[in-house]
Structures are given as structure tokens and as C-alpha cells.
Amino acid sequence: MNELKKEMQSRWNEHADSYDSSEAHGLSNPWAIKRWSGLLEGKQGQTLLDVGCGTGFVSLLAAKTGLKVTGVDWSEGMMGRAKEKAKEENLEITFVCSDTEALPFASDTFQNLTARHVIWTLTDPVSTFREWCRVLQPGGQAIVDYSPRKGELKAYHYRQEVESQLPLNRDVASSVIADMFCEAGFSNVQVQENSHIHPKTETEEESIHTIYQFIATK
């Protein structure tokens, strides 16, 4: 792991204990829960890889829906919280600590893949999407969301020098990202646009946030 990624990993380890309490992350937002529950509907009994699982928002929802879930994250701190919550709710979820850009799984392993609030952190999106495509079974589906970063690029989650090296940490057109999925080997890439109110935080005023949902088939 290079120094850039080590710094990013350290940031999430440091904020693991406070992550769930931030309204900006939407973990208790009924709109987000309803949206993701709907996306997982009808997939009971199928396998799912939740990349960048964080503290387990999608992983726990999927397990409650009846999917066989594996969550992967490079932050031991964030994943530790996910494990605690899964244990509290008596949910069987496998958690693996790994870089989501280089997955430790055989090709054609999973029927589904999810990534919530992840792709803005990627250093090489196309290469990562290709890796995600690799671990999906033929006909498998990736469900990935993206919230474009509006306004001037400045230090938010990381130092500005770090944030400037993340290609999707800005306002990138959904059509451009859809083309990236196709370049990585996916087909039939569908894009859904959703909007919701993003609450006021220490660094941002309340605003309307747009989220693009990509549903891509291998």
C-alpha cells in the first residue's frame, strides 16, 4: 500500500468511533434505508460483496434481507464497528480487511456487489471497477452510488493534496462514470438520479444532494 492510501486508511481508523453519530453519513436516514432496502429486494439467498462496507450500513441491511454477505474494508476501525453491530443484531456476516481496489477473492465468486459512498475515494476508478467485475459471477450485478462534489475542491475528509488526487472527488458527469464501468467490462449500465436533503454539518450548510445510482451487469 502506497503512502497516499496509508494516509487515507489512517483517517478512517481515527474516525471510526464517531462515524455513526454524524447525520451527514445518513446511517439513520429513513430515505437512505428505504432506497437501499428497495435495491436489495428480491435478492434473498444470493451472495453479496459489500466493498468499502465501513461500519456496516449496507452489509447489515443485506443480511437482514436474507443475503449471504461478505463485507470488505481497509479500515480495521470501521470494520470493527461493523462486526460489533452485526454481533449485537445476531447477523451472520463475513468481514475481510482489504483494499477494495485489490480484492482477495477468486474470480466469479459473488452474485452481487455493492459500494455506498466509496467511489469518490478511488485512486484509479477504471482499474477498480475492473477488479469488482472480476469477482462477480457472469450475470452478476454491481450497485454503486455516487454523489458529485460541488464547488471548489478543498480539504474535507483528507488534506487538499490528497483529495486532489482522487479523480471522482469532484463533479463528474454520470455518463462519464457509466463509460468507466463499460470500459472495465460491465454491460447494461443503468443510471438512476435521486435527490435528498443533506443536513447541516460543521463544514457545510443544509443543501440538496444529488445521488447517482449505477446498476451494472457483468
pLDDT means per 10 residues, the chain with 218 residues, are 73 73 60 90 97 95 97 93 95 95 96 95 95 98 88 54 74 94 96 76 65 96
What is the predicted pLDDT for the residue at 6? 75
Nearest to 54 by CA among 104, 102, 20, 89: 20
8 A C-beta contact, residue 47 and residue 26: no
What is the predicted pLDDT for the residue at 185? 97
d(CA 27, CA 23): 7
What is the predicted pLDDT for the residue at 152? 53
* Residue 210 φ/ψ, nearest 5 degrees: -100, 135
Q: Where are the domains of the chain?
A: 3-101+108-217
Bridge partners, 209 (sequence order): 196
pTM: 0.87
d(CA 81, CA 87): 10
8 A C-beta contact, residue 47 and residue 67: yes
All three cell numbers of 70, joined, read 461478505
What is the predicted pLDDT for the residue at 203? 56
CATH of domain 3-101+108-217: 3.40.50.150
What is the predicted pLDDT for the residue at 204? 59
